[in-house]
Chains A and B, each alone.
Chain A
Amino acid sequence: MVRLRISSGRTGSHYMAERAASGIGLSRLSNGLFVAPYMLLVFGLLFAPLVLGIWLAFQDYDMLGGWAGGVGLENFENLLDDKIFRGTVRNTIKFVLMTTPAFVALGLFLALALNNSLRRSAILRAIFFGSSVLSVTIVTLIWRLVYLPDRGLLADILSLVSLPSVDLITSQTWALPAIAIVTVWWIIGLPMTLFLAGLQQIPPELYEAAALDNASRWRTLTSITLPSIRRTIIVVAVIEVILQFQLFGQALLITGGGPDNTTRPMVQFIYEAGFRDLQLGFAAAASQVLFALMLIAALAQMWAGRRREG
């Protein structure tokens, strides 16, 4: 991730000390006012809900019945016992494992292929990024047409090579990979763009030096390009893990969580527990589990990235 280092030079601290000594205490308060609007939003919309969510996870809170007091770890125990919830955790982790490597590998491949000043590449970059601006509704609509058994694009392609039509969406094995493909197609633009930005940071002189050093194309990729964008790779992986753990819209609209709950993601479980079954405490506990999983996955990746650097 981007790390900012703000160093207060000697002159800076000297200046502050002088100001403090001259007794202009009020100005500190007025300084604070400048950041107040931002801090209000952060506290009101981010920090407070986070704390409230953690608190809710230990309460028996029903939207109809109201608050019925603290219940300790009961919500979490119920989650552990819930077969459907355990299934959603499995599905979500599987989905993250399918999509994140695909985003990194495919995003990098596209960026490498399109990192030049050809007009053709500029058009392709726009096309690959273009799908990211579509709403999930449009994207799932397009792909439902692709996956339509007998009449969809996939069925047409399969029949061209004389293969029988398959119904991915109703297959317990293929429904989740089908959603993964939709997701990669939908937002491959972001990792591609991040990788392009990373590639353009590499000084061209490095490649010239490598050419004079007899480096083959493969050697240049592995010894110059990849090490130079190592941080970008970590950023993309962390961003995608965080994003893909929150799978919801595509699954809800394509399969609704079926068949037999094999594509039901955690967010859908949370949504249903909270807004269909109105059990806010239970839903909040599930949210904390998701939050913990995302945090662990992201930290593990950053740690792995740092370790390799050291």
Chain B
Amino acid sequence: MAELSLRNVSKRFGAVEVIRDLSLDIPSGEFAVFLGPSGCGKSTLLRMIAGLEAVGSGEIHLGGARIDTMAPGDRGIAMVFQHYALYPHMTVRENMAFGLRNIGTPPAEIERKIADAAEMLEIGELLARKPTQLSGGQRQRVAIGRAIVKQPRAFLFDEPLSNLDAALRSRTRIELARLHQRVSSTMIFVTHDQVEAMTMATRIVVMNQGRIEQVGTPMEIYQRPRTRFVAGFIGAPAMNFLPVTGVTGRGGMAVARLPDGSEVATEVPIGAVKAGATLTLGVRAEHVLPGNGAAAKVDVIERLGERTLVYANLSDGSAVVYDEPGDVQLSVGESVALTIDGAAAHLFGPDGLALHG
């Protein structure tokens, strides 16, 4: 059964429609990540769930109860803000106790809950400090602690890692994933960082322009993107997109011809291809194989250490990136031969939708 359920939710700010008739079900205990570029509506959606933004139309249900008509504090949710929003004049202990005191929790119980959360997050020695005396990472933990003590049905995270440095960010990702295993509450996490989404999510909701592009597990999203937008947004480097000049059938599958004349035998059924439609071939860098095939010229080489990205131009000028493990003995301007692994290639129609069997 769905724990969190959004039904035909929309929202507009003046003339701008930021959420368009959006419906979504998130099962209990999931770690759902709303992923999308800036301005796609993911933060607005989170704030509507929290009650910090009114719902334009539609309904939001949590644990079977309709919550979009409730006050934020009554919804059974806790939120970790991007800038943490700790109360600056209160100590860490008071920050964590504030919400519990407001609902009349007995002091002994408040103490116990704070002690439990402090132990889990290893912030016991910080309880008497004020937020200004904490580092960014410590503030982050306190903000999470303030959410945990409330024992909410759902945790909401609004880009909470964006203020941390790279090392701390990757450590916090692991800790959040661990936290999710321990508290087993539903968690909703908003980010524009695909690495955060891929590493922490049990389910990714890719959003674009106020709409959901695709919902799925990280590997589903990565391997079977439903739209060209999802294909291009997920994965680094971004997926290669090449125009298709013609399609023929071979063994029931579509064979795409590229502008340089080379052919790619895909595993997309030819029946899915509409005659005369303008198609785009999408293929990730790891599925472009060097060695033989179409001629290309090396344009840029990016050495990342464990692998190297090579940006090359095909004979017609279209750009392709591929990767090789470790280092490569190549220099800019050199010629390489590339083969596209058709089995892993995608075809996108003129409407941006992927063609599947």
Chain A residues proximal to chain B, CB less than 8 Å: 203, 205-206, 208-216, 219, 223-224, 227-228, 230
Compute how far the CA of A230 lies from the CA of B86 in the bound complex, rounded to whole angstroms.
Answer: 17
Q: Indicate the size class of the contact surface on chain B.
A: 20 to 34
Closest chain-A Cβ to B30's Cβ sits at a distance in Å of 21
Given contacts A208-B81, A209-B81, contact A227 B89 (CB under 8 A): yes
A224 and B87 contacting across the interface, CB-CB below 8 Å: yes
A208 and B102 contacting across the interface, CB-CB below 8 Å: no
Closest chain-B Cβ to A217's Cβ sits at a distance in Å of 11
Top 9 nearest A-B pairs (CB, nearest first) are A214-B73, A213-B99, A205-B85, A227-B89, A214-B102, A209-B85, A211-B72, A212-B72, A208-B52
Chain B residues proximal to chain A, CB less than 8 Å: 50-52, 71-74, 77-79, 81-83, 85-90, 98-99, 102-103
User: Which of B52, B71, B82 has the most chain A CB within a 10 Å cutoff?
Assistant: B52
Closest chain-A Cβ to B13's Cβ sits at a distance in Å of 14
B81 and A223 contacting across the interface, CB-CB below 8 Å: no
Given contacts A212-B77, A212-B79, contact A206 B85 (CB under 8 A): yes
Compute how far the CA of A205 lies from the CA of B83 in the bound complex, rounded to whole angstroms.
Answer: 8
B78 and A212 contacting across the interface, CB-CB below 8 Å: yes
B79 and A223 contacting across the interface, CB-CB below 8 Å: no
Q: Which residues of A contact B81 (CB under 8 A)?
A: 205, 208-209
Compute how far the CA of A233 lies from the CA of B18 in the bound complex, rounded to whole angstroms.
Answer: 40
- B147: nearest chain-A partner, CB-CB: A212
Closest chain-A Cβ to B33's Cβ sits at a distance in Å of 20
Closest chain-A Cβ to B114's Cβ sits at a distance in Å of 14
Compute how far the CA of A206 lies from the CA of B89 in the bound complex, rounded to whole angstroms.
Answer: 11
Compute how far the CA of A212 lies from the CA of B81 in the bound complex, rounded to whole angstroms.
Answer: 11
A209 and B102 contacting across the interface, CB-CB below 8 Å: no
Closest chain-A Cβ to B133's Cβ sits at a distance in Å of 14
Q: Which residues of B contact A223 (CB under 8 A)?
A: 87, 90, 98
A216 and B77 contacting across the interface, CB-CB below 8 Å: no
Q: Which residues of B contact A209 (CB under 8 A)?
A: 79, 81, 85-87
Q: Which residues of A contact B86 (CB under 8 A)?
A: 209
Compute how far the CA of A224 lies from the CA of B95 in the bound complex, rounded to whole angstroms.
Answer: 11
Majority-rule SS of A interface residues:
helix
Closest chain-B Cβ to A77's Cβ sits at a distance in Å of 49
- A214: nearest chain-B partner, CB-CB: B73
Compute how far the CA of A208 lies from the CA of B103 in the bound complex, rounded to whole angstroms.
Answer: 16
Neighbour of B85 across the interface among A203, A219, A227, A228, CB < 8 A: A203
B98 and A213 contacting across the interface, CB-CB below 8 Å: yes
B83 and A213 contacting across the interface, CB-CB below 8 Å: no
Additional 18 contacts, C-beta under 8 A, given A203-B83, A210-B87, A230-B89: A203-B85, A205-B82, A206-B88, A208-B50, A209-B79, A211-B51, A211-B71, A211-B72, A212-B73, A212-B77, A212-B79, A213-B102, A214-B99, A223-B90, A223-B98, A224-B87, A227-B89, A228-B88
B99 and A211 contacting across the interface, CB-CB below 8 Å: no
- B99: nearest chain-A partner, CB-CB: A213
- B81: nearest chain-A partner, CB-CB: A205
Neighbour of B73 across the interface among A205, A213, A230, CB < 8 A: A213
User: Which of A209, A210, A219 has the most chain B CB within a 10 Å cutoff?
Assistant: A209
A214 and B74 contacting across the interface, CB-CB below 8 Å: yes
Q: Which residues of A contact B78 (CB under 8 A)?
A: 212
A211 and B73 contacting across the interface, CB-CB below 8 Å: yes
Compute how far the CA of A212 lies from the CA of B98 in the bound complex, rounded to whole angstroms.
Answer: 11
Q: Which residues of B contact A203 (CB under 8 A)?
A: 83, 85
Neighbour of B99 across the interface among A206, A208, A212, CB < 8 A: A212
Compute how far the CA of A227 lies from the CA of B87 in the bound complex, rounded to whole angstroms.
Answer: 10
A208 and B85 contacting across the interface, CB-CB below 8 Å: yes
B87 and A206 contacting across the interface, CB-CB below 8 Å: yes
Closest chain-B Cβ to A211's Cβ sits at a distance in Å of 4
Q: Can you list 15 residue pairs at the A/B interface with Cβ under 8 Å?
A: A205-B82, A205-B83, A208-B85, A209-B79, A212-B79, A213-B102, A214-B74, A214-B102, A215-B73, A215-B102, A223-B98, A224-B87, A227-B90, A228-B88, A230-B89
Q: Which residues of A contact B102 (CB under 8 A)?
A: 213-216, 219
- B150: nearest chain-A partner, CB-CB: A213
Closest chain-A Cβ to B86's Cβ sits at a distance in Å of 8
- B80: nearest chain-A partner, CB-CB: A209
Compute how far the CA of A203 lies from the CA of B84 in the bound complex, rounded to whole angstroms.
Answer: 11
Compute how far the CA of A144 lies from the CA of B284 in the bound complex, rounded to whole angstroms.
Answer: 84
Q: Which residues of B contact A228 (CB under 8 A)?
A: 88-89
Closest chain-A Cβ to B82's Cβ sits at a distance in Å of 8
